[in-house]
Amino acid sequence: MAFDGLFTRSMANELSQLVSGRITKIHQPNALEVILHIRANGANSKLMISIHPSYARVHLTEQAVENPAEPAMFCMLLRKHLEGGFIHAIAHDGTERILQFVIESKNELGDPIMRKLIIEVMGRHSNCILVDVANDKIIDSLKHLPPSLNSYRTVLPGQLYIAPPAQHKVSPYSVTDEEIATFFSEQKNAQEIVNHFAAFSPLHANELLARMQGGDAVSTFHTFLKEITTAHKPTYVEKDGKVAFSPTELTHLEDGQASTYESLGALLDRVFFARAERDRVKQQAGDLERWLSNEIDKLKLKMKKLQKDFDRASELDQLQLYGELLMANLYQFEKGPEKITVKNYYNGETVTIPLSPRKTPSENAQHYFTRYNKAKNALIMIEEQLEKTRADIDYFEMLAQQVQQAAPSDIEEIREELAEQGLLRLRASKKKKKPTKPTPEQFISSTGTKISVGKNNKQNDHLTFKLAKKNEIWLHTKDIPGSHVVIHHSEPDETTLREAAILSAYFSKARGSSSVPVDYTEIRHVKKPSGSKPGFVIYFEQKTLFVTPDDELVLQLKQN
């Protein structure tokens, strides 16, 4: 990751378009994120501020994030001080990962006030702090930092704002050509650059070294800084399972899979949105995930026990044979022996049969026939239980997969589904929510055709049997838990069909696999068996495509 001082300077440059903009709305989706809606230059923008220890960032976003029914206290405070205010300036010193938004607003009496919203993008030390410009005192912050945790500075309401300690490194923006030439006159490694110059991360240090090979150090240094500052070519690179991003090209990672974006905001949406969305789901559905995992474990243990019982009951053919052979050989033995060896008239071999010495030959035979009938009845019951347990495991694994890939808005529908079946009790809520229709996620193919994706069983059933028309095309991964996907067209082109198949593979348990089989057929050939669980269907007259899930394509289809 490389949200370093260089990236922050570039981001400050991109966000300068918000200066003079008016803050129209403020939302706080969760404890670590704030979103400001800003009207600037005749357009509406959304500013994402996150202090997540792994996904800390600030940027313009196009992605929609669901907000809680009741706003948090910090959100209410920001609305009081900032909503309706104008961004007077966006300040950045050029090296630190700190942005200051100076905002001119009005208090309850209508008098003008000046506030600073300070965003510190520093990994696990990240914070969002509201400061009174008049006295430089903290009004409040997303994360409080008492003296017991930090002796250098206190981040609490009423305290003076103190910036994080300076690193006392050389600023790359004020260094002279002579100092650059002197420093690079000897061979340097990335860590030496990071230790000497402020704002550099190892990623950008390695990129600078790669560009300096065989070239002039001074001119390369200045060109590199200029490209980063102006967001010359926002780049995302995936190599060996690792992700790197930068406001400029990463030539030292040329053998990786690279993508470029029009803006830093679009780049960071690509890098962080899916991960941050997953984190939001974990916050809301951690208990649900644990419950589903426990239920699956219990059902698998039950399967093992049932399988053992089934194996024992499957010996019924031997019990029947013993009874028949004893009845055929009653004349050969009297009451008393513990076993008898007789000839099996089915194959001519001899068979030794255990006996109860307390029973007569006839009673021993009847005892085996009784055990045979009990085992036969038990086998029928165990087979039914095995079938039901397998279906339950498939159902809970399907729900677990849906939770893994759900958006926060989908979680409540999954809880409701379990509650309707008496499997889970809903948590008490202060406000009674009005029932809403399930809303499948919408995508647009490259050729302009609408595609809908159900993200949970309620959405799947609603999409397949309520929204879709009989002649539209339905897709689902073959024998793999996943979403129902519908192309809202009776004769889609090949591009749309393949893109819909990729969506089906992406929103399935096979998201991380390649060459995933996806079945497709008309809606008229999809049926729901009577009494079946939510989301379960059968279908026929299908054809199969093999596709590989593509994160980049899914994001593009969502944005279209």
Q: Delineate the domains of the chain, giving CATH numbers in brackets.
A: 5-141 (2.30.310.10), 177-260 (no CATH), 285-426 (1.10.287), 441-559 (no CATH)
pLDDT band at 287 (very low <50, low <70, confident <90, very high): confident
Burial of 121 (0-12, 13-18, 19+ CB in 10 A): buried
The first and second tokens of residue 430, run together, are 């202060």
Q: Is the pLDDT of residue 314 over 60?
A: yes
pLDDT at position 290 is: 87
pLDDT at position 448 is: 93
Tens of pLDDT, residue by residue over 50-103, are 999 888 999 999 887 878 778 999 999 999 999 999 999 999 987 899 999 999
pLDDT at position 433 is: 57
Query: What sign results for the dihedral spanned by CA atoms 224, 225, 228, 230?
Result: negative
pLDDT band at 446 (very low <50, low <70, confident <90, very high): very high
pLDDT mean over 264-287: 78
Q: Is the pLDDT of residue 429 over 60?
A: no
Distance in angstroms between the alpha carbons of the first and the last residue of the chain: 28
Phi-psi region of 336 (alpha: psi -120 to 50; beta: other; left: phi over 0): left
Closest CA to 397 of 508, 286, 280, 516: 508
pLDDT at position 436 is: 67
Tens of pLDDT, residue by residue over 118-163, are 999 998 999 999 999 999 999 999 999 999 888 889 999 999 999 9
Q: Please check whether residue 96 is in contact with residue 7, taking contact to mean a CB–CB distance below 8 angstroms.
A: no
Distance CA 189, CA 560 (A): 43
Q: Is the pLDDT of residue 430 over 60?
A: no
Q: Is the pLDDT of residue 405 over 80?
A: no
Q: Please check whether residue 59 is in contact with residue 265, taking contact to mean a CB–CB distance below 8 angstroms.
A: yes
Pairing of strands 441-444, 450-453: antiparallel
Could you tell me where the DSSP H helices lie in 115-163? none
Q: What's the Cα-to-Cα distance from 43 to each of 22, 38, 39, 62, 206, rounded to whole Å?
A: 11, 8, 6, 13, 38
Contacts of residues 320-328 at CB distance under 8 Å and 24 or more positions apart, as own/partner, are: 320/368, 320/369, 320/372, 321/346, 321/351, 322/351, 322/353, 322/365, 322/368, 323/365, 323/366, 323/368, 323/369, 323/372, 325/351, 325/353, 326/353, 326/361, 326/364, 326/365, 326/368, 327/362, 327/365
Instruction: Please give the model's pTM, rounded to 2 decimal places.
Output: 0.65
Q: Is the pLDDT of residue 431 over 60?
A: no
Give the 3-state secondary structure of 410-447. Answer: HHHHHHHHHHHCCCCCCCCCCCCCCCCCCCCEEEECCC
Q: Is the pLDDT of residue 277 over 70?
A: no
pLDDT at position 533 is: 86
Averaged pLDDT of the chain: 89
pLDDT mean over 468-474: 96
Q: Please check whether residue 488 is in contact with residue 448, taking contact to mean a CB–CB distance below 8 angstroms.
A: no
Q: Please check whether residue 128 is in contact with residue 141, taking contact to mean a CB–CB distance below 8 angstroms.
A: yes
Instruction: Find the range with the poorest average confidence among 238-247, 404-413, 470-479, 528-537.
Output: 404-413
pLDDT band at 222 (very low <50, low <70, confident <90, very high): very high
Q: Where are the beta strands (DSSP E) in 207-316?
A: 235-239, 242-246, 257-260
pLDDT at position 428 is: 56
Tens of pLDDT, residue by residue over 498-515, are 999 999 999 999 988 999
Query: What sign results for the dihedral spanned by CA atoms 203, 204, 208, 209?
Result: negative
SS3 97: coil
Closest CA to 19 of 118, 89, 93, 123: 89
